[in-house]
Amino acid sequence: MSILEEIKVNRTPTHMTQPEALKLADWMESNGECMNAAAELRQLHDLNQELLAALKDVISACDVVEYGLALTKARAAIAKGEVK
């Protein structure tokens, strides 16, 4: 069974899902494979969450008309990065 097939089979209930990147890291660790890659994947996910939070703080602090285009782009980036 491939990594993605196994993740789909072992998926947690919808109300308890975690990001796909963390599911993949869990799978890699549970099979004793790619431990360095799993650790890096977790670090990158954590960094992404920190950057999204910081970007949200910047938007809150700078929400004025002349920053309209920058705010629109920032909001679009946040929407892409949000865990759904």
Is residue 6 predicted with pLDDT exceeding 60?
no
Q: For residue 7, give both structure tokens.
A: 């993740």
Residue 63: which pLDDT band, with cuts at 50, 70 and 90? low
Q: What is the pTM of this model?
A: 0.58
Other C-beta atoms lying within 10 Å of the C-beta of residue 84: 5
- Residue 40's domain spans which residues? 3-81
Find out whether 19 and 83 touch, Cβ atoms under 8 Å.
yes
Q: For the chain, how many structural domains are there in total?
A: 1
Calpha distance 16→41 (Å, rounded): 20
What digits encode the pLDDT tens for the residues 15-60? Answer: 457 888 898 899 888 888 788 999 999 999 888 888 888 888 777 7
